[in-house]
Amino acid sequence: MHDIRAIRENPAAFDAALSRRGMEPQSPSILKIDEERRAAIHAAETAQADQKKAAKDVGAAKASGNEAEFERLRALVGAKKAEVSEMQDRAKALDAQLDELLMGLPNLPFDDVPDGADEDDNVEIHRWGTPATFDFAPKEHYQLAAVQKGMDFETAAKLSGSRFVVLSGGVVRIHRALAQFMLDTHVEENGLTETWTPVLVREEMMYGTGQLPKFGEDSYQTREGWWLVPTAEVTLTNIVNGETVEESYLPRRYVAHTQCFRSEAGSAGRDTSGMLRQHQFEKVEMVSVTHPDKSREELDRMTACAQGILEKLGLPYRTVVLCTGDIGFGARRTHDIEVWLPGQNTYREISSVSVCGDFQARRMNARFKPAGGGKPDYVHTLNGSGLAVGRCLIAVLENGQQEDGSVKLPEALHPWLGGKTTLTADGELV
């Protein structure tokens, strides 16, 4: 959410930043509502002061026996009381209207975010590894003989519909091992605090991280009103919802492995084959809560954490900065990490690491007390996949595929597989 004072002070800069996202100027309508809201507040305060003064004078008029003045002042007290109530209600309604408008506006991109219309305008900033060459035409993950028994889309469709999968045997063990490998690496080497959180959250938590009100159709809501998390970003970030922490508390660096749920409302017809885009999937999510002066530095640290997982697994990748037309709603700058998938002969996103500044903190009212004293300030928040487990499984299978349909598994993963090194063409781990 945006700081109304910053908009008042420099509406042109606010509109210019939104225009980089392809949006029309918003400050005129925002400032109009804000002016009316402030006028209503002022009117309520003035009427309240008049009411208090008249209330004091009523007693004096009564004591002096001036019945006419007594009645006039008593009527004035009643009128001012009604005016106070009316102006307070108007201010409250305008405040809600302003909040609704501000809640629906995306974050402002940093100046160093490249301008662009869509993903074609993203800018590559890093590349690691060389895609392997094959003596045969590489297949996509779901076409490999090694996964035919262990990746069942037909049974999943019978159980739940499209965009679901049933994993079993060696495939599901690799999937589980990948999640454990990621968690252990982030905890033991990257210093993150492992956390286990609910996958059902209250509506205000979804507002806090920006999934609501604008993107409700992308998530699932239960009949009881809970929302299924689209990512553990929601729970991990909201740990500080409504809190004012000591500066010494920062930074807080969390990691969690959770089920995630997305309706994929805007992806009709995209990636319908295989398990690249599912309604239910697993992710190892990183979240940092930092001092404002450290958040940009933290973005680079978190990006390196995610990249490090791919490097340990020997999976070629590239990192891009998202342009203004592709950056997410709550982000000021985003680094997408794209892993090489030989079956598609292209790089596909496997992690998105974003710095949100104080955008989420304002929605959550999450602050910190400066160590040297002074007024509490908003924390900064960041989030990123470390990594998407299913997509990492896809990358491991496709990059390790052999001509006979088997898959050689990354050496770094062997300890989490009990020393097994290969998924045979029959789907067995050996």
Q: Is 262 tagged catalytic?
A: yes
Q: What are the C-alpha distances in Å from 344 to residues 141, 216, 268, 340?
A: 9, 31, 19, 9
69 labelled binding-site residue? no
Distances (CA, A) of 24 to 14, 18, 46, 328: 11, 7, 37, 18
Average pLDDT of the chain is 95
Q: Determine whether the annotation assigns residue 349 to a binding site.
A: yes
Compute the average pLDDT of residues 240-261: 97
Whether this prediction's pTM lies above 0.95 is answered by: no
Exposed / middle / buried, residue 308 (Cβ in 10 Å: 0-12, 13-18, 19+): middle
Share of residues in the chain with pLDDT > 90 (%): 87
Segment 197-206 shows an average pLDDT of 98
Note the pLDDT of residue 269: 66
From its phi and psi, is residue 113 left (phi > 0), alpha (psi between -120 and 50) or beta? beta
Catalytic choice (27, 288, 295, 352): 352
CB atoms within 10 A of CB 421: 14
Rounded Cα gap, residues 223 and 225, in angstroms: 5
Matching CATH number, 119-423, of 2.60.40.10, 3.30.930.10, 3.40.190.10, 3.30.1490.190? 3.30.930.10
Rounded mean pLDDT, 19-33: 97
Of 234, 249, 237, 244, the closest CA to residue 381 belongs to 237
pLDDT digits (tens, 9 = 90+) for 208-246: 999 999 899 999 999 999 999 999 999 999 999 999 999
pLDDT value at position 266? 65
The sheet that has 280-290: what strands, in order across it?
Answer: 123-128, 317-321, 333-341, 346-355, 380-388, 280-290, 252-261, 193-194
Q: Are strands 367-369 and 244-246 parallel, antiparallel or unpaired?
A: parallel
Q: Which of 243, 311, 349, 428 is catalytic?
A: 349
* 237 marked ligand binding residue: no
Decide if 352 is catalytic.
yes
Cα separation of the two ends of the chain = 52
* Single-letter residue type at 54: A
The secondary structure element, H or E, covering residue 261 is strand 252-261
Active site residue 277: yes
Domain map (residue ranges) of the chain: 4-103, 119-423
- Identical fold at 4-103 and 119-423? no
In the numeric block, the tokens 């997410």 are attached to: 328
Max Cα distance, the chain (Å): 109
Residue 26 structure tokens? 């918003």
Active-site residue 252, yes or no?
no
The CATH T-level fold of domain 4-103 is Helix Hairpins (1.10.287)
Say how far apart CA 268 and CA 271 lie, in whole Å: 9
271-326 per-position pLDDT tens digit: 778 999 999 999 999 999 999 999 999 999 999 999 999 999 999 999 999 999 99
Residues 353 and 335: beta-carbon distance below 8 Å: yes
For residue 119, what are the β-bridge partners? Answer: none
298 labelled binding-site residue:
no
Tokens for 155, please give them. 């049974």
In the residue annotation, 348 being an active-site residue is answered as no
Beta-carbon contacts of residue 329 (< 8 Å; ≥ 6 apart): 106, 107, 210, 214, 215
Which residue blocks in 344-415 are alpha helix, DSSP H?
A: 359-364, 389-399
- Annotated active-site residue in 262, 333, 362, 367: 262
Q: Is 168 annotated as a binding residue?
A: no
Q: Provide the residue count of the chain.
A: 430
The CB-based long-range contact list for 240-243 (8 Å cut-off, 24+ gap) reads 240/289, 240/361, 240/364, 240/366, 240/379, 241/204, 241/205, 241/208, 241/364, 241/365, 241/366, 242/364, 242/365, 242/366, 243/366, 243/367
pLDDT in tens, 101-128: 999 999 999 999 999 999 999 999 999 9
Q: Determine whether the annotation assigns residue 383 to a binding site.
A: yes
385 is in an annotated binding site: yes
With both helix axes pointing from N to C terminus, report the angle between 295-313 and 389-399 in degrees, rounded to the nearest 10: 40
